[in-house]
Amino acid sequence: MQPADIEGFFADPATLDLDRYLILDYTLECVGDPRLAMAHLCSEQSTAQWKRVDVDEDLRPRFAAKVIGMEVLEEREALSYPVTQAAEGRIFACRVRIAHPHENFGPRIPNLLSAVCGEGPFFTPGIPLIKLMDIQFPQVFLSAFQGPRFGVQGLRDLLNAHDRPIFLGVIKPNIGLPPEAFSAIASEAWMGGLDIAKDDEMLADPDWSPLEARCRHLGEARRQAEQATGTPKMYMANITDEVDRLTELHDIAVERGANALLVNAMPVGLSAVRMLRKHTQVPLFGHFPFIAAFSRLPHYGIHSRVITRLQRLAGYDSVIMPGFGPRMMTSDEEVMANVRACLEDMGPIKPCLPVPGGSDSAATLQRVYEKVGSVDFGFVPGRGVFGHAMGPRGGAASIRQAWDALARGVPVAEQARQYPELARALEQFQ
Amino acid sequence: MQPADIEGFFADPATLDLDRYLILDYTLECVGDPRLAMAHLCSEQSTAQWKRVDVDEDLRPRFAAKVIGMEVLEEREALSYPVTQAAEGRIFACRVRIAHPHENFGPRIPNLLSAVCGEGPFFTPGIPLIKLMDIQFPQVFLSAFQGPRFGVQGLRDLLNAHDRPIFLGVIKPNIGLPPEAFSAIASEAWMGGLDIAKDDEMLADPDWSPLEARCRHLGEARRQAEQATGTPKMYMANITDEVDRLTELHDIAVERGANALLVNAMPVGLSAVRMLRKHTQVPLFGHFPFIAAFSRLPHYGIHSRVITRLQRLAGYDSVIMPGFGPRMMTSDEEVMANVRACLEDMGPIKPCLPVPGGSDSAATLQRVYEKVGSVDFGFVPGRGVFGHAMGPRGGAASIRQAWDALARGVPVAEQARQYPELARALEQFQ
């Protein structure tokens, strides 16, 4: 790239029609001149060759991604993480904001991913380390998507659960139980006060627990628990499977009484979720397998918030995500970025319920509530309910007892003096 | 986990029926006792809670993932990459081989991904850094998949191209040209000797180059080039799009004369590729957006070879991958691991054509040929053909001239004395 070529990849945002652009924030470590590296970054993710040989044309004004802001944060002695065959020279840690013309591909998730975290950004000459930190969409782009069908308010209405968190539980043992036994322990948990009993993200449609039979048993148990408690309940069946089975499995599950569905976002692909959203009659919950493989390290990969935004855009009513505390090796700041990505204004796209989780129990509810700072979250213990020494009914009860204390401003430990299930949970899990 | 519990996650492979297991190789950096960390690693990816409360049972013999080999490589002073809230203690770099029972989920790609690179491995207590290095499948698992429809031999037969590499070119300018102009430059490249002219991985079905019109123009140009040269040619249309449009776009493209298709593997999802494979009438090519985000760093994420194996399993006839040399920041060893993953014996699954690429031209063909060590590869320049100073016909001719030299054992530079296109390519790109 010649010095004169670099200018074609920079623009004053005041001169751009921002409805035409996605806004991308990257952090990166480049080798050599940062302006040259950023021009390459824009070129590689859009018009890598912007004219034909021997034709007097320039495709950049309309089609090039353009730097609209950049900052050199520091010069570094070495890359944060060594990279094979990285270029040699002075190393600069930078932040860059890019306007990327969405008419290059249109409102399509696979094509968006191919451009903003594809070969372009990750194989730009002079940029061995890069992380896509955030993405913002103009209204015209968002309005091509359906987003969540139910969203936070819709979920609350279905469950008749207002002004409090939604209480979920991952049925455990997660792998290996036949449907009857699985159903019996879910039943106990509903009776103890759980709103939603869910399949583990690894439990799908195996021979030893076919989805059809599992939904039949749990659908019936769910209805019985609703009658016994006079309260709506949900059974969330995991229909994660090959994408050409998703709508069929939706129908099988819903007809038999599953009234929420779990689909692992990245393993099936976000586009398959968007497809299922067009068909679904019940709330869709996303789970996070695969995401940590590209989001954990602070200076390389893709920030988990980007994937949360895309899950909401694809149509999930709720996003299960790594939660607070050392167990999930995720900073509070990152968890909160994901919580906000679920709840903040996104134009025509409804809010979805954030479910920050990971080894939760009655002993961790206060922390999650205080960190989130509102009741708009789902709380999802596994062993905290199903491994409780008094069984799943006691485990579920301990969660509701902890919440009753928090809602009334009573210390959880004080509440435990009156409730053996809560006392036992604190003893077992704290 | 109690000391007695750890043993349930270790097994002597001689005692296992290996047809029932996937074999997983991870490298990891753990904090504290490596055996405990590895027991957790198995537990988290399978039976996280292996018994009901108050029931005398053990689900591990049948359903647990089990360590069948481990090695502590070194004690380290610090993690290779700092991780937020990682546990504290002695740090050990280890290698571990795990047998994972595939009946936990069956022959389904999304469920496989959820288990082997999902929450389990990436959120195991005491393992802040882990990389899934390789995966092996027993025959019974492989035989549930179709794999490539054509494979290497099928592609060679369609192109009547034997005993040599397959010559591809990415039509450039990649973004922004209308179909007529795009078609004209593809035409030149076919006439110059290219086997396959392909869309860029970022060019799909935008308003300014609708797939239908592009395939109409390029299909016609392709047939004309075949008549003019007496040689089969391919136009590879990129149908990467939302997954519920893939089969429709396949039909639109193929009816109009595209006779190969490009689909970006991770952006649409590997399962969507498997779905398309059931429908396709033409060879499917995979491209690598998104993969580097989790595969570049040596001590964290997922090795690219794992994704290459899964692309072959899903049914790609050819896998385009980051190639040799500093441009793609990928070690020769990693490129060759991916080349081998395409070509080596995989039971009932046909070999697929590896296409290691990245800023190639006539000047790099010898290096790629020598590194691969056989003619079973595709060679995929972009600007090396379409940015050639003598135009795409000259660019394509330069590639064929370079190959003619290599096939006859003549130095490429010597050949260039007789062929101005080759001479120009070496001057421009070397």
Give the separation between CA B93 and CA B125, rounded to whole angstroms.
15
Average pLDDT over residues B169-196: 97
Task: Give residue A361's pLDDT band: very low, low, confident or very high (50, 70, 90).
Answer: very high
pLDDT in tens, B94-151: 999 999 999 999 999 999 999 999 999 999 999 999 999 999 999 999 999 999 999 9
Nearest alpha-carbon partner for A380 in A287, A253, A271, A276: A287
Nearest to A84 among B104, B294, B329 (CB): B329
Q: What is the pLDDT of residues A19-52, one digit of tens each?
A: 999 999 999 999 999 999 999 999 999 998 899 9
Nearest CA in chain A to B326: A85
Question: For residue B217, what is the enclosing H or E element?
Answer: helix B211-229
Mutation site for B-interface testing, chosen from A296, A306, A371 by largest number of B Cβ within 10 Å: A296
Classified as helix, coil or strand, B421 is helix
Residue B225 burial (10 A CB sphere; 0-12, 13-18, 19+): buried
| Pick from A176, A294, A382: CB nearest B62 | A176
What is the average pLDDT value for chain B, to the nearest integer? Answer: 97
Chain A residues in contact with B81 (beta carbon < 8 A) = 80-81, 297
User: pLDDT digit string (tens) for A195-246?
Assistant: 999 999 999 999 999 999 999 999 999 999 999 999 999 999 999 999 999 9
* Nearest chain A alpha carbon to B247: A244
pLDDT at residue B393 in the model? 98
Contact (CB<8Å) A382/B296: no
pLDDT tens digits, B316-326: 999 999 999 89
- Per-residue model confidence (pLDDT) at position A69: 98
Encode pLDDT of B271-295 as tens digits.
999 999 999 999 999 999 999 999 9
How many contacts (CB atoms, under 8 Å) link A and B?
Answer: 325
What confidence score (pLDDT) does residue A329 get? 96
All CATH 3.30.70.150 domain ranges of chain B, comma separated, are 3-142
Closest Cβ–Cβ partner in B83, B275, B292 for A296? B83
Looking at residue B2, its pLDDT comes to 87
Q: Which residues contact B88 (CB under 8 A, 6 or more apart)?
A: B31
B125 contacts in A (CB within 8 Å)? 327
CATH code for the structural domain at A151-429: 3.20.20.110
**Which residue from A minimizes the CA distance to B47?**
A175
Residue A368 pLDDT grade (very low, low, confident, very high; cuts 50, 70, 90): very high
Task: Inform me whether the pLDDT recorded for A90 exceeds 90.
Answer: yes
User: Given a cut of 90, is residue B1 above it in pLDDT?
Assistant: no
pLDDT digits (tens, 9 = 90+) for A127-165: 999 999 999 999 999 999 999 999 999 999 999 999 999
CB contact under 8 A, B111 and A391: no
C-beta separation of A94 from A73 below 8 A: yes
> Taking CA atoms, what residue in A is nearest to B239?
A111
State the pLDDT at residue A301. 98
User: pLDDT band at A3, cuts 50/70/90?
Assistant: confident
Which residues of B fall within a CB distance of 8 Å from A303? none
Q: Report the residue of chain A nearest B278, measured CA to CA.
A: A244
Least confident range from A302-306, A401-405, B84-88, B316-320: namely B84-88
Q: Give me the mean pLDDT over the A162-189 stretch.
A: 97
**Mean local confidence (pLDDT), A350-379:** 97
| Domain covering A3-142 assigned CATH 3.90.660.10 in the classification | no
A292: nearest CB among B45, B123, B175? B123
pLDDT score at A223: 98
| Residues 6 or more apart in contact with residue A343 via CB below 8 angstroms | A152, A351, A352, A354, A376
Interchain proximity A300–B296, CB inside 8 Å = yes
Q: pLDDT tens, A249-259?
A: 999 999 999 99
Contacts of residues B326-330 at CB distance under 8 Å and 24 or more positions apart, as own/partner, are: B326/A85, B326/A87, B327/A123, B327/A125, B327/B358, B327/B359, B328/A123, B328/B358, B328/B359, B329/A83, B329/A84, B329/A85, B329/A86, B329/A123, B329/A128, B329/B296, B330/A84, B330/A85, B330/B296, B330/B304
Residue A190 has pLDDT above 90, yes or no: yes
By DSSP bridging, strand A353-357 and strand A318-322 are parallel
Q: What is the mean pLDDT of residues A167-182?
A: 97
Beta-ladder partners of B93: B29, B74
**What pLDDT is recorded for position B277?**
98
Backbone angles phi, psi at B393, to 5 degrees: -65, -45
Which residue intervals of chain B bear CATH 3.20.20.110? 151-429
How distant is the Cα of A389 from the closest Cα of chain B, in angstroms? 7
The confidence score (pLDDT) of residue A282 equals: 98
Give pLDDT, residue A179: 98
Considering only alpha carbons, which residue of chain A is nearest residue B112? A267
Residues B316, B147: Cα–Cα separation, whole Å: 7
Q: Which residues of A touch B200 (CB under 8 A)?
A: 48
Write b or e for each residue in B319-352: b if 16 or more Cβ atoms lie within 10 A of its Cβ, otherwise e.
bbbbbbbebbbbeeebbbbbbebbbeebeebbbb
As given in the structure block, the two tokens for residue A364 are 């961790």
> B202 vs A46: CB contact, 8 Å cut-off?
yes
Cβ–Cβ below 8 Å for A53 and B392? yes
Phi, psi of A290 (to 5 degrees): 85, -25
Segment B6-24 mean pLDDT: 97
With pLDDT > 70 as the criterion, what percentage of chain B qualifies?
100
**For residue A1, what pLDDT is reported?**
85
The alpha-carbon gap from B111 to the nearest alpha carbon of chain A, in Å, equals 6
